[in-house]
Amino acid sequence: MALFANLSERMNHIFSKMRNKGKLTELEIKEAMREIRIALLEADVNYNVVKKFVNDVSAKALGEDILKSLTPSQEVVKIVNEELIELMGSQNQKLLVSDRAPTIYMMCGLQGAGKTTMCGKLAGYLQRSGKKVLLVAGDIYRPAAINQLQVVGKKVKTEVFEMGQINPVKIAQEGIAYALKNGYDTVIIDTAGRLHIDEKLMNELVEIKQAVKPTEILLVVDSMTGQDAVRVAQDFNEKLDITGVIMTKLDGDTRGGAALSIKAETGKPIKFSGTGEKMEDIEPFHPDRMASRILGMGDVLTLIEKAQDAFNQEEAEKLAKKIKQNSFTLEDYMNQLDSIKKMGNLNDMLQMIPGFAGKIKGDAQIDEKQMSHTKAIIQSMTPRERRNPDLIKSSQKKRIADGSGTSIQEINQLLKQFQASKEMMHRMSKGKGMKGLPPGFKF
């Protein structure tokens, strides 16, 4: 499910009715505000937050300049967009970095929120930006928690410091000493969670905070728990004075209430969001981009960033040269499918394109299994056939179909699609470039 899908659909419906009316009366704007209020409450946004939000939007939308405007519906959308951005924190809040190494990030949260996995995701994210990261296993109570951190650490190629199930304060202190001795500039401490907040948990976290003086205390919350996530954030903030929040499962069937309420209720920014199960599925939280997604206006900047991460600059330049020379092969075609899949769920990617947001449903959605079938077909060919598809005749198609578990019809369809793509890209290469492709695709 796309991020904030239900809320986005409701908002689009409200604004489409306004656009169809041209000029707006005060009564029509009040009716739209009533519908926005209901949509936000159904999205599990905190009641007090909704009340203030609607009052603030109404005060601006009912101004004389708006009512007399030639495009009042656009003005109202602009106001709603600005207020949503303000509600979620105005701008992206980057992680603080200590003046003296190591920078220490203390991760906390309840069991089931995805805290340990998020430690690994954050480590991978920081490593991609050039940091040398050490994970410290401070969750000594949950069965297999240390092992889980070692598993995620291995996935992102990050060392995990652990001392078994001894005092977690000592583990944190020794982990930082180890980091200093071994040249790590960043330490992420995975602390214990509970099924619910209790005094013992909080006292232990306070002791770790006092002992290691973390650069940031980041609370991991499950966005699918709605207002419960907000209450958890309030409790942790009261005891620990957290510096930021990381929201997990924003790609799931979440109504969005927690993301729209936490900053207003705690005063602390959302710094990252988890958007999938893979270790690469972590994004800096940008209030302006989130507001744009909610209002169905896409999120081109995040899409570009994902493309830049997925497509290697050097490989892109080599590919561009091949396209220009009309020597693009099925091997290149398969490699591009792999790069595209690295960007994440393709239907979510389409939701980031203005004009597509909220409109890709049902049969119109991309079947990612078809991409796997395509890859299986190409892998069942010989290297010579991949480089020169014209060699593939009826007998070879039978062999390839048997090897890939597909049909001759599917192979014919792939070869036809490949040839059409190759010709189109070659024609485009004669122009000034291919708009929308990542850096490197210039001719």
Average pLDDT over residues 13-26: 79
Question: What's the CATH architecture for 303-429?
Answer: Orthogonal Bundle (1.10)
Global pTM reads: 0.69
Residue 252 has pLDDT above 70, yes or no: no
Average pLDDT over residues 4-14: 81
- Give the tens place of pLDDT for each residue, 275-285: 888 898 898 99
Query: Which candidate, 366, 362, 363, places its Cα nearest to that of 374?
Result: 366
Q: According to the model, what pLDDT value does residue 24 have?
A: 78
Q: According to the model, what pLDDT value does residue 244 have?
A: 94
Residue 288 has pLDDT above 80, yes or no: yes
What DSSP state is assigned to residue 224? Answer: G
Q: According to the model, what pLDDT value does residue 26 have?
A: 85
Q: According to the model, what pLDDT value does residue 122 have?
A: 96
Residue 207's Cβ-count burial label (10 Å; 0-12, 13-18, 19+) is middle
Q: According to the model, what pLDDT value does residue 431 have?
A: 57
Domain 5-87 CATH assignment equals 1.20.120.140? yes
Highest averaged pLDDT of the listed ranges 97-101, 213-217, 247-251, 367-371: 213-217
Query: Which candidate, 96, 59, 89, places its Cα nearest to that of 76?
Result: 59
Q: According to the model, what pLDDT value does residue 290 have?
A: 82
Percent of the chain residues past pLDDT 90, beyond the cut? 34
More confident residue, 269 or 432: 269
Q: Which residues contact 391 (CB under 8 A, 6 or more apart)?
A: 384, 385
Residue 289 has pLDDT above 60, yes or no: yes
Q: Cβ distance 141 to 251 under 8 Å?
A: no
Confidence of residue 430 (pLDDT cuts 50, 70, 90): low
Residue 70 has pLDDT above 70, yes or no: no
Q: According to the model, what pLDDT value does residue 351 have?
A: 55
Q: List the structure tokens of 101.
A: 């190494």
Residue 353 has pLDDT above 60, yes or no: no
Rounded Cα–Cα distance for residues 22 and 62 (Å): 15
Q: Tell the CATH topology of 103-297.
A: Rossmann fold (3.40.50)
- Give the tens place of pLDDT for each residue, 292-349: 878 766 545 555 555 556 556 676 677 777 777 778 888 888 877 777 666 666 555 5
Q: How would you list the strands of the sheet with 270-274, edge to edge?
A: 159-161, 133-138, 186-191, 103-108, 216-222, 244-248, 270-274, 282-284
- Give the tens place of pLDDT for each residue, 32-43: 899 999 999 988
Domain locations in the chain as residue ranges: 5-87, 103-297, 303-429
Q: Cβ distance 91 to 288 under 8 Å?
A: yes
Rounded Cα–Cα distance for residues 165 and 355 (Å): 53
Give the chain's mean pLDDT.
Answer: 82
Residue 350 has pLDDT above 90, yes or no: no
Q: According to the model, what pLDDT value does residue 330 have?
A: 86
Q: Do domains 103-297 and 303-429 have the same CATH topology?
A: no
- Give the tens place of pLDDT for each residue, 174-228: 999 999 999 999 999 999 988 788 888 889 999 999 999 999 999 999 888 778 8
More confident residue, 300 or 66: 66
